A and B are shown apart, each in its own frame.
Chain A
Amino acid sequence: MTMNHPYDDFPHLLFSNNTATATSTSSCVEQHDGISLDMDWDCDFHNLIESMMSDKGATTESPPLLPCYHGQEGIFNSSSTGSSMADELDHDVEAGESKGLRLVHLLVAAADASIGADKTRELTRVLLAKLKDMTSPNDRTNMERLAAHFTNGLSKLHKEANVQRQYGPHQHPDHVYDQVDVMLAFQMLQNMSPYINFGYLTATQAILEAVKYERRIHIVDYDITDGVQWPSLMQALVSRNTGPSAQHLRITALSRATNGKKSVAAVQEAGRRLTAFAESIGQPFSYHHCRMDSDTFNPSSLKLVRGEAVVINCMLHLPRFGHQPPNSIISFLSEAKTLNPKLVTLVHEEVGLMGNQGFLYRFMDLLHQFSAIFDSLEAGPARGFVERVIFGPWVSGWLTRIAITDDGAEVESVASWPLWLATNGFKPVEVSFANRCQAKLLLSLFNDGYGVEELGKNGLVLGWKSRRLVSASFWASCESSE
């Protein structure tokens, strides 16, 4: 059966007029062997492709905004890169098909085909094979390497679809990296980008301010990972309290059933490390581990002490390799409200949660997000390692997640976390001048191109060029006293 590859015609379709008009692309919406690309190939997607086609050096031009970001431009507009979207449109696009453009085409095509009906399975396989052929995690340009990871992720999805789709939460990545590898890569990532530490340090600053006059502090941490967030808090407490005014710190870390006993052990290990650190600097500290046996969080399983200020810490932006159902987060936040927390810190990626936008849209958003992150990382010999160990599985995890929710097996019920909090009994807590200052200072340590923007009165957003990457916001339960 001869496969009709509609996507091979794309270059001509898109650039036949050599303008940015959208009309020339609307002919894409055709039926080919039951495949329909029912997409709105509007102006902005065109720009996206164009921006991705430039293979100049190791970085791509700043990707233009996807439609949904128009309203949130703030400081993140393309003029910060020195070129406007109009300039990009004027590029001579007929200078051959660049590989980057082809890759984006193929990726989007493969993504679309992968969620199609049965007939598209063969198409998917062919497209993915082609992509695999064209890319490798060691390629020269960011786009090529990123495409390799996306190809990999899509392949896994495809494979699973062919076998029997598991709606289980746990994915088995192709290559299980050792814990040390992951830890090493994680730390290297912190040196290459402020992505992780922006969340940690901003949240920590807000916590310090909120609990300034409290004698006892109790932090309930949804996802403690290695506990890397907390030493800086401990240090700050020690340095500002002397003698009898020492504040006691307690951390309860959650482990979720969906992640199995590995995560239990990891949480416990984090506790040991934090306890040792606290002792070494003389910070009164105690640690507890709370297991979430299902997706529901039960606050009564926490040990509470009278007179302590409760802080809820929710770091959702960290690289996750498995699938995290949003329900457990929802349950956690809802139930935690009953604890009357003095502060809720929420840090999350600016991707993925779009409500019901459809797989393809979210796929492109994901591509956009990771392109920005890839571009923003500092170059260096460690980079390939970090990309392989962290980004590969991270991309795969995300792809699985958006595929599952697209299936309808799971409803992505949260369009935006801040919105959810605002409408579920939480009130905003203002970001301080010191916090904004600290964020800017942090960014100054890295590549030019990062920016921090205010998110209402109670949040900060870290972005790379025109793309928002991760945002931190602060809340308190409506009943808590100020």
Chain B
Amino acid sequence: MFHAKKPSSMNGSYENRAMCVQGDSGLVLTTDPKPRLRWTVELHERFVDAVAQLGGPDKATPKTIMRVMGVKGLTLYHLKSHLQKFRLGKQPHKEYGDHSTKEGSRASAMDIQRNVASSSGMMSRNMNEMQMEVQRRLHEQLEVQRHLQMRIEAQGKYMQSILERACQTLAGENMAAASGGAFKGNLGSSSLSAAVGPHPLSFPPFQDLNIYGNTTDQVLDHHNFHHQNIDQNHYTTNNAADTNIYLGKKRPNPSFGNDVRKELLMWSNQDHEPIDDEHRIQIQMATHVSTDLDSLSEIYDRKPGLSGDEGNNCGKLLERSSPRRSPLSPMMNPNGGLIQGRNSPFE
């Protein structure tokens, strides 16, 4: 239920009971003797948008809706009955007496019948309203899910950018202070998201990442947005896989004597505070991709899109797929002190 679905095509793919043809105007009409308009999801969405633009179902009129929608072949008659149903759907307790012509009402009822999978006989008006309400709710839930995904993504991108900025500044400061090339490499823009940025589909929970060893048998399921899987919490995605990889990386960084994961483990076990700058930078770096170190024996998986390749697991550490950049390129220059050293927004 939570998968993002594209709106069904105009050919009524989600329901193929009645025969439908698509006219020149793009409207879907049924093929029975008296052609009736099929209100597809897409058409309905446009309708809803138009109504919203006009200030809601109470303010919008069929005429203005028709104009705003701009769909050829759509008549006032179609819109009148659909608008009425829409209003009913929004206010299920509305008095029946408010309805317009009986003819219109009867037509509405028949429209709904056609649109519903049931082949039972005439439905009562109550059922119609409930159907509308249920459909409306389902539609809304899908919308909510779609919107949430996009919003989370936007937020993630933003967080990534501010963290990048902060790291650059800090690294710049450390460049001045540090003695000799401890930190090579660019901060790949996709890399920071691995540490903290929420993937469009989920926030990768760290618990699922086995950073202390190979998990060749661990299948990380990208699209596991399933409601049913909440017990396992495998909301891992490419992002998570990347994080896993990054954290488990062997960094040829000269300052690191060991595996970075050991370093991390040591670090997290120590009871020392504060972390000195060098360590902290390196920890952070450990969560970034550094793609231009020649001596890397293991290369990171390039963060794939939602291409649906299952089982993007850590066993693929050895795939060389990240874009090559010039080695030993200097750290990005700090952007002229955009972030002053120790400002904490949390004070």
- Interface 1/0 per residue, A371-400 and B, CB below 8 Å: 000000011111111001000010000000
Contact A441 B2 (CB under 8 A): yes
Contact B345 A138 (CB under 8 A): no
Contact A378 B205 (CB under 8 A): yes
Stretch at the interface among A32-40, A107-115, A177-185: A177-185
Stretch at the interface among A317-325, A360-368, A408-416: A317-325
Contact B280 A178 (CB under 8 A): yes
Contact A379 B206 (CB under 8 A): yes
B45 to chain A, nearest CB (A): 12
Q: Return chain A residues, CB-CB under 8 Å to B166.
A: 179-180, 183
Stretch at the interface among B97-105, B110-118, B138-146, B314-322: B138-146
Chain A interface extent, by class = 35 or more
A185 to chain B, nearest CB (A): 9
Contact of A191 among B198, B231, B346 (CB under 8 A): B198
Contact B347 A212 (CB under 8 A): no
Contact A262 B344 (CB under 8 A): yes
Q: Return chain A residues, CB-CB under 8 Å to B343.
A: 179, 262-263, 265-266, 269
Contact B284 A184 (CB under 8 A): yes
Contact of A434 among B143, B265, B280, B341 (CB under 8 A): B143
Q: Return chain B residues, CB-CB under 8 Å to A175.
A: 273-274
A residues 169-228 touching B (CB-CB < 8 Å): 170, 174-184, 186-188, 190-192, 197, 200-201, 204, 212-213, 224-228
Q: Return chain A residues, CB-CB under 8 Å to B204.
A: 191
A467 to B130, CA, bound (A): 36
Q: Return chain A residues, CB-CB under 8 Å to B197.
A: 187
B222 to chain A, nearest CB (A): 14
A residues 226-269 touching B (CB-CB < 8 Å): 226-228, 231-236, 239, 245, 259-260, 262-263, 265-267, 269
- Interface 1/0 per residue, B221-232 and A, CB below 8 Å: 000000100110
B277 to chain A, nearest CB (A): 8
The reply to whether the CB of B63 lies closer than 8 angstroms to some CB of chain A is: no
Contact A266 B345 (CB under 8 A): yes
Q: Return chain A residues, CB-CB under 8 Å to B195.
A: 184, 187-188
Known: A381-B211, A445-B235, A448-B230. A201 touches B148 (CB 8 A): yes
Q: Return chain B residues, CB-CB under 8 Å to A393.
A: 346
B residues 256-286 touching A (CB-CB < 8 Å): 264-265, 268-271, 273-275, 277, 280, 284
A473 to B152, CA, bound (A): 21
Contact A441 B144 (CB under 8 A): yes
Q: Return chain B residues, CB-CB under 8 Å to A178.
A: 170, 274, 277, 280, 341-342
Q: Return chain A residues, CB-CB under 8 Å to B264.
A: 381
A196 to chain B, nearest CB (A): 10
- Interface 1/0 per residue, B127-139 and A, CB below 8 Å: 0000000000100
Contact A177 B155 (CB under 8 A): no
Q: In the complex, what residue of chain B is closest to A318 when comparing beta carbons?
A: B346
The reply to whether the CB of B291 lies closer than 8 angstroms to some CB of chain A is: no
Contact A380 B147 (CB under 8 A): no
Contact of A181 among B145, B155, B280 (CB under 8 A): B280
A289 to chain B, nearest CB (A): 13
Contact A437 B274 (CB under 8 A): no
Q: In the complex, what residue of chain A is closest to B165 when comparing beta carbons?
A: A273
Contact A192 B346 (CB under 8 A): no
The reply to whether the CB of A277 lies closer than 8 angstroms to some CB of chain B is: yes
Q: In the complex, what residue of chain A is closest to B212 when comparing beta carbons?
A: A381
B129 to chain A, nearest CB (A): 16
The reply to whether the CB of B162 lies closer than 8 angstroms to some CB of chain A is: yes
Contact A438 B280 (CB under 8 A): no
Contact A179 B155 (CB under 8 A): no
Known: A232-B154, A266-B343, A269-B338. A187 touches B163 (CB 8 A): yes
Q: Return chain A residues, CB-CB under 8 Å to B270.
A: 138
Q: In the complex, what residue of chain B is closest to A173 when comparing beta carbons?
A: B347
Contact B148 A192 (CB under 8 A): no
Q: Return chain A residues, CB-CB under 8 Å to B155.
A: 197, 200, 228, 231-232
A176 to B273, CA, bound (A): 9
Q: Return chain A residues, CB-CB under 8 Å to B196.
A: 184, 187-188, 190-191
Q: Which of B140, B197, B203, B209 has the most CB of A within 10 A?
A: B203
A262 to B345, CA, bound (A): 7
Contact of B339 among A179, A322, A384, A442 (CB under 8 A): A179
Contact B230 A444 (CB under 8 A): yes
Contact of A273 among B52, B161, B247, B277 (CB under 8 A): B161
The reply to whether the CB of B53 lies closer than 8 angstroms to some CB of chain A is: yes
The reply to whether the CB of B159 lies closer than 8 angstroms to some CB of chain A is: yes
Q: Return chain B residues, CB-CB under 8 Å to A266.
A: 343-345
- Interface 1/0 per residue, A435-460 and B, CB below 8 Å: 00110011011111000000000000
Q: Return chain B residues, CB-CB under 8 Å to A382.
A: 206
Contact B163 A184 (CB under 8 A): yes
Contact of B233 among A225, A281, A447 (CB under 8 A): A447
Known: A190-B196, A231-B155, A270-B345. A138 touches B269 (CB 8 A): yes
The reply to whether the CB of B25 lies closer than 8 angstroms to some CB of chain A is: no
Q: In the complex, what residue of chain A is closest to B204 when comparing beta carbons?
A: A191
A278 to B268, CA, bound (A): 37
A212 to B49, CA, bound (A): 12
A192 to B196, CA, bound (A): 10
A-B contacts, 21 of them at CB < 8 A, read: A182-B346, A187-B197, A190-B159, A200-B155, A213-B55, A224-B345, A225-B346, A232-B151, A232-B154, A235-B150, A236-B151, A262-B347, A267-B345, A277-B158, A378-B205, A378-B206, A379-B207, A381-B268, A383-B206, A433-B137, A446-B205
In the complex, the 7 A-B pairs of residues with the closest C-beta atoms, listed nearest first = A380-B206, A232-B151, A235-B154, A187-B196, A231-B158, A266-B345, A437-B144
4 further A-B contacts with Cβ under 8 Å, apart from A224-B345, A228-B162, are A178-B342, A272-B338, A379-B207, A448-B233
